[in-house]
Amino acid sequence: MSEIYANNKMIFSGLGGPLGYALNLVRDDSNAIGFRSSECDLLNKKFTINYFTNLVKSINRGAGITYVHAAAKSGGSHLSEKIPASLFTENIEMAINALEACRISGIDRIILILSTSCYSSSIANPSEVDLHKFPVETNEFGYSYAKRMFEVLMRAYNKQYNMNISCVLVNGIIGSHMKFSDEHSILPAALIKKFVTNKSNLNTVELWGDGTPLREYTYSMDLAKAILWCLKNQEKNTLLNIGNNQKISVKELSMIIADKIGINKERIGFNGQTSFGKQIQSTDNSLFVNLSGFTYSNIHLAIDEAINDFFLNWQKA
């Protein structure tokens, strides 16, 4: 891949989420067009094709147009437990409709975004070659298997239609525009909301589990910058783990967030009950880092931004 895609017009979905919001900031120019589900419902195939076709017609194509599929139906562990079928079918349907719209409207350079939850927890530190090895054992299986299928869609569309599609895998995203509703929030967002809403009382703040599970999180702006690098440089039919692989325990993350919000750490209690998800969530990002020379921001920067965003928009949370 060369700089052929460096100055392309970029269309991306998921503008209302943390990754889409970050993409909009990183490409804050006339060459980026993001949209929300309220503007284009990717579950509506006919509308999606018309939306993309009209958008492409309105663009001076120049060097071409690229598309980043950042839209997803996702949420916390409780949502995954509640609606696994919807998470499976709707994520696949959105991806297919977006790819069909790209194919028909003439967009061939595409990045599909997968989740590191696709990897089986039986693999200690999975790299890209491990995507389809072993089953997904967690309650996120509906969402995770849908994201696994994006890799199949990539290869199938590239082969049949000679498109230029690649895939990236991201881990937990921290930054502005995270979802704070109970069912849709990931752990950092849930902790922020819980600590803020309990700050004024003196009761114990009870958290699930024992705090020992290890997680990986990446600043949303870092992921946006990594995706832009991939648009320019990543080869078709390839996968790249682009998330920060620095591990942090649930307990350590909880204490960092509590400290920043002003919660006495002695008030935090883990109830010891079994928590959802993997005990260790880790990935090998060495292929991407070696290719790109990418460096990641400190996790504290991402947490600070997420907390500030919560206070600015708490009435919407």
What digits encode the pLDDT tens for the residues 144-177?
A: 999 999 999 999 999 999 999 999 999 999 999 9
Distance CA(21)–CA(235), nearest Å, equals: 25
Question: Class of the 3-174+217-246+281-296 domain?
Answer: alpha beta
Distance CA(240)–CA(1), nearest Å, equals: 14
Query: 261 in helix, strand or coil?
Result: helix
Distance CA(120)–CA(130), nearest Å, equals: 8
What digits encode the pLDDT tens for the residues 183-240?
A: 778 899 999 999 999 988 888 899 989 999 999 999 999 999 999 999 999 999 999 9
Distance CA(93)–CA(44), nearest Å, equals: 9
Distance CA(26)–CA(48), nearest Å, equals: 25
Indicate whether 76 pLDDT > 80. no
Q: Give strand pairing partners of 170.
A: 115
Q: Which two three-digit tokens encode residue 124? A: 């200690």
What digits encode the pLDDT tens for the residues 18-73?
A: 999 999 999 877 789 999 999 999 999 999 999 999 999 988 665 589 999 999 99
DSSP 280: B
Cβ–Cβ < 8 Å for 236, 108: no
Distance CA(31)–CA(191), nearest Å, equals: 36
Query: What is the structure's pLDDT at 201?
Result: 87
HSE-CB for 131 with a 13 A CA cutoff? 21
Distance CA(240)–CA(72), nearest Å, equals: 19
Query: What is the structure's pLDDT at 63?
Result: 58
Indicate whether 312 pLDDT > 60. yes
What digits encode the pLDDT tens for the residues 253-311?
A: 999 999 999 999 999 999 887 655 678 889 999 999 999 999 999 999 999 999 999 99
HSE-CB for 25 with a 13 A CA cutoff? 16
Count of CB atoms within 10 A of residue 203's CB?
A: 8
Q: Are strands 268-270 and 205-207 parallel, antiparallel or unpaired?
A: parallel
- Cα dihedral 77, 278, 142, 97, rounded to 10, equals 90
Q: Which two three-digit tokens encode residue 191? A: 């902790």
For 288, residues 6+ apart whose C-beta sits below 8 A from its C-beta are: 226, 240, 241, 242, 294
What digits encode the pLDDT tens for the residues 116-155?
A: 999 999 999 999 999 999 999 988 999 999 999 999 999 9
Count of CB atoms within 10 A of residue 116's CB?
A: 24
Query: What is the structure's pLDDT at 317?
Result: 46
Q: Give strand pairing partners of 172.
A: 217
Going 43 to 24 to 84 to 237, the CA torsion angle's sign is positive
